[in-house]
Chains A and B, each alone.
Chain A
Amino acid sequence: MKTLCFLIALLAAAAPHGELEDQIRELDARIAAEPARLELRLRRGELLRLHGASLRALADFDAVLLRDPGHPSARFFKALAFRDMKRFAGARRELDRHLARGPREAAALRLSARLGVEMSDFHRACADWRELFDLDDAVSPDDALAWMKAARASAGDDDRLGWSRALGVLERALARLGPAIVIEIEAARCEARLGRLEDLDRRFARLTAGLKKKDWFDRARRAILAEVEEGNDR
Chain B
Amino acid sequence: MTSRIAGALILSLGLAALLSAQTPQIVRGPYLQLGTEDAISIRWRTDVATDSKLWWGAAPGSLLATMTRPGSRTDHEIRINGLAPRTVYHYAVGNALDGMLAGNDAQHRFRTAAVPGSRDRLRFWVLGDSGTGNQDARDVRDAYYGYAPSVPTDFMLMLGDNAYNDGTDAEYQTAVFQNMYEDLLRQVVVWPAYGNHDAHSADATNQTGPYFDIFSLPTTGEAGGLASGTEAYYAFDQGNVHFVVLDSQTSDRSPTGAMATWLAADLATTTQDWIVAYWHHPPFSKGTHDSDTEGRLIDMRQNILPILEAGGVDLVLSGHSHGYERSMLIDAHTGLSPTFDVNLHAKDAGSGRMIEAGAYRKPAGGVANAGEVCIVAGSSGKIGAGSYDHPVMIASMARLGSLVVDVLDQQMTLRFLDAGGQIQDFFTLVKEPVRPTQMIRLPVAYGGIWKFQDAGVDLGTAWRAPGYDDSSWSSGPAPLGYGESWVQTPISFGANAAAKPPTAYFRKSFVYDGDPQTLDVMHLGVLYDDGFVAYLNGQEIARSDSMPAGAVSFGTLAASHEAAEFELFDVSAHKALLLRGGNLLAIEVHQTSATSSDLVIEAALLTDGLDPVMPPAAASSVLDAQGRVEEPFRIQSSNGGYARSVDVGLGQPFSFSMDPPSLSGGSAPFTIFGYLGTPSAAEAFPLPFGLGPMAFAPAFPGVFAPQSFLVADNFIGLTGALAYSAPAPWSATNPGLNFPGEFSFQGWIATGPSSAKVFNAIRMRVLP
Residues of B near A220 (CB, < 8 A) are 265
> A177–B208 Cα gap in the complex (Å)?
15
Q: Are A182 and B205 in contact (CB under 8 A)?
A: no
Q: Are A9 and B228 in contact (CB under 8 A)?
A: no
> A217–B226 Cα gap in the complex (Å)?
12
Q: Is B638 interfacial (CB-CB < 8 Å)?
A: no
Proximity bits, A146-173, B CB within 8 Å = 1, else 0: 0000000000000000000000000000
> A183–B230 Cα gap in the complex (Å)?
12
With an 8 Å Cβ cutoff, the count of chain B residues facing the other chain is 44
Residues of B near A9 (CB, < 8 A) are 166, 168-169, 200-202, 209-210
Give the distance to chain A from B234, nearest Cβ to Cβ, in Å: 11
Q: Are A17 and B206 in contact (CB under 8 A)?
A: no
Residues of B near A182 (CB, < 8 A) are 229, 258, 261-262, 265
Q: Are B204 and A140 in contact (CB under 8 A)?
A: yes
Residues of A near B167 (CB, < 8 A) are 12
Residue of A nearest to B268 (CB): A216
Contact of B219 among A106, A110, A177, A214 (CB under 8 A): A177
> A142–B254 Cα gap in the complex (Å)?
11
> A181–B235 Cα gap in the complex (Å)?
12
Main secondary structure of the interface of B (DSSP, over half): loop
Q: Are B200 and A181 in contact (CB under 8 A)?
A: no
Q: Is B738 interfacial (CB-CB < 8 Å)?
A: no
Proximity bits, A71-99, B CB within 8 Å = 1, else 0: 00000000000000000000000000000
Q: Is A103 interfacial (CB-CB < 8 Å)?
A: no
Q: Are A110 and B205 in contact (CB under 8 A)?
A: yes
Q: Are B262 and A180 in contact (CB under 8 A)?
A: yes
Determine which residue in B208, B209, B257 has the highest number of CB atoms from chain A within 10 A of its CB, and name it. Answer: B208
Q: Is A137 interfacial (CB-CB < 8 Å)?
A: yes
Determine which residue in B205, B226, B270 has the highest number of CB atoms from chain A within 10 A of its CB, and name it. Answer: B205
> A135–B733 Cα gap in the complex (Å)?
82
Q: Is A143 interfacial (CB-CB < 8 Å)?
A: yes
Q: Is B337 interfacial (CB-CB < 8 Å)?
A: no
> A138–B209 Cα gap in the complex (Å)?
11
Contact of A107 among B206, B251, B258 (CB under 8 A): B206
Contact of B229 among A5, A12, A17, A140 (CB under 8 A): A140
Q: Are B265 and A180 in contact (CB under 8 A)?
A: no
Proximity bits, A108-147, B CB within 8 Å = 1, else 0: 0010000000000000000000000000011111111100
Q: A142-B257, A179-B220 are in contact. Are A213 and B270 (CB under 8 A)?
A: yes
Q: Are A181 and B266 in contact (CB under 8 A)?
A: yes
Q: Which bracket fits the contact residues of A?
A: 35 or more
Residues of B near A8 (CB, < 8 A) are 200-201, 209
Q: Is B164 interfacial (CB-CB < 8 Å)?
A: yes
Give the distance to chain B from A166, nearest Cβ to Cβ, in Å: 15
Contact of B228 among A5, A180, A211 (CB under 8 A): A180
Q: A12-B168, A107-B206 are in contact. Are A140 and B251 (CB under 8 A)?
A: yes
Residues of B near A179 (CB, < 8 A) are 220-221, 227, 229
Q: Are B208 and A180 in contact (CB under 8 A)?
A: no
Q: Are A139 and B257 in contact (CB under 8 A)?
A: no
Give the distance to chain A from B199, nearest Cβ to Cβ, in Å: 9
> A216–B166 Cα gap in the complex (Å)?
39
Q: Are B205 and A143 in contact (CB under 8 A)?
A: yes
> A15–B229 Cα gap in the complex (Å)?
33
Q: Is B707 interfacial (CB-CB < 8 Å)?
A: no
> A12–B221 Cα gap in the complex (Å)?
33
Proximity bits, B191-211, A CB within 8 Å = 1, else 0: 000000000111111111110
> A220–B231 Cα gap in the complex (Å)?
24
Residues of A near B202 (CB, < 8 A) are 5, 9
Residue of B nearest to A208 (CB): B269
Contact of B203 among A107, A145, A212 (CB under 8 A): A107
Residues of A near B214 (CB, < 8 A) are none
Q: Are A183 and B268 in contact (CB under 8 A)?
A: no
> A183–B205 Cα gap in the complex (Å)?
16
> A211–B259 Cα gap in the complex (Å)?
20
Q: Is A13 interfacial (CB-CB < 8 Å)?
A: yes
Q: Are A140 and B262 in contact (CB under 8 A)?
A: no
Main secondary structure of the interface of A (DSSP, over half): helix
Q: A5-B208, A9-B201 are in contact. Are A177 and B229 (CB under 8 A)?
A: yes
Q: Are A142 and B203 in contact (CB under 8 A)?
A: no
Residue of A nearest to B219 (CB): A178
Q: Are B227 and A142 in contact (CB under 8 A)?
A: no
> A8–B226 Cα gap in the complex (Å)?
32
> A75–B24 Cα gap in the complex (Å)?
42
Residues of A near B261 (CB, < 8 A) are 181-182, 185
Give the distance to chain A from B666, nearest Cβ to Cβ, in Å: 41
Residue of A nearest to B221 (CB): A179
> A106–B164 Cα gap in the complex (Å)?
25
Q: Are A217 and B265 in contact (CB under 8 A)?
A: yes
Q: Is B252 interfacial (CB-CB < 8 Å)?
A: yes
Residues of A near B203 (CB, < 8 A) are 5, 107
Q: Are B269 and A138 in contact (CB under 8 A)?
A: no
Contact of A180 among B164, B166, B230, B271 (CB under 8 A): B230
> A139–B251 Cα gap in the complex (Å)?
12
Residues of B near A6 (CB, < 8 A) are 209
Q: Is B264 interfacial (CB-CB < 8 Å)?
A: yes
Q: Is B232 interfacial (CB-CB < 8 Å)?
A: yes
Q: Is A18 interfacial (CB-CB < 8 Å)?
A: yes
Q: Is B165 interfacial (CB-CB < 8 Å)?
A: yes
Residues of A near B265 (CB, < 8 A) are 181-182, 185, 216-217, 220
Residues of A near B64 (CB, < 8 A) are none
Q: Is B342 interfacial (CB-CB < 8 Å)?
A: no
Q: Is A198 interfacial (CB-CB < 8 Å)?
A: no
Residues of B near A177 (CB, < 8 A) are 219, 229-230
Q: Are A141 and B262 in contact (CB under 8 A)?
A: yes
Q: Is B170 interfacial (CB-CB < 8 Å)?
A: yes
Residue of B nearest to A180 (CB): B229
List which A209-230 residues lie within 8 A (CB) of chain B: 211-217, 220
> A167–B220 Cα gap in the complex (Å)?
20
Q: Are A178 and B227 in contact (CB under 8 A)?
A: yes
> A12–B226 Cα gap in the complex (Å)?
34
Residues of B near A139 (CB, < 8 A) are 205-206
Contact of A138 among B208, B227, B251, B271 (CB under 8 A): B208
Proximity bits, B263-289, A CB within 8 Å = 1, else 0: 011101111000000000000000000
Residues of A near B210 (CB, < 8 A) are 9
Q: Are A17 and B207 in contact (CB under 8 A)?
A: no
Residue of B nearest to A12 (CB): B166
Contact of B165 among A23, A106, A142, A183 (CB under 8 A): A23
Proximity bits, B215-241, A CB within 8 Å = 1, else 0: 000011100001111111000000000
Q: Are A213 and B228 in contact (CB under 8 A)?
A: no
Residues of B near A212 (CB, < 8 A) are 269, 271
Q: Are A141 and B268 in contact (CB under 8 A)?
A: no
Contact of A142 among B220, B226, B258 (CB under 8 A): B258
> A106–B205 Cα gap in the complex (Å)?
10
> A212–B272 Cα gap in the complex (Å)?
11
> A145–B262 Cα gap in the complex (Å)?
13
A-B contact pairs, 23 of them (CB 8 A): A5-B208, A5-B209, A9-B201, A12-B165, A13-B166, A106-B206, A137-B208, A138-B212, A139-B206, A140-B204, A144-B258, A177-B229, A178-B227, A179-B229, A180-B227, A181-B261, A182-B261, A211-B269, A213-B269, A213-B270, A213-B271, A215-B268, A217-B265
| With A8-B201, A140-B229, A217-B269 already in contact, 13 other A-B pairs whose C-beta atoms are closer than 8 Å | A5-B201, A8-B209, A138-B206, A139-B206, A140-B204, A142-B259, A144-B258, A180-B227, A181-B265, A185-B265, A212-B269, A215-B268, A216-B268
Which 4 residue pairs of A and B lie closest in terms of their CB atoms, listed nearest first?
A: A180-B229, A216-B268, A12-B166, A141-B258
Which residues on B are within 8 Å of A, measured CB to CB?
Answer: 164-171, 200-210, 212, 219-221, 226-232, 251-252, 257-259, 261-262, 264-266, 268-271
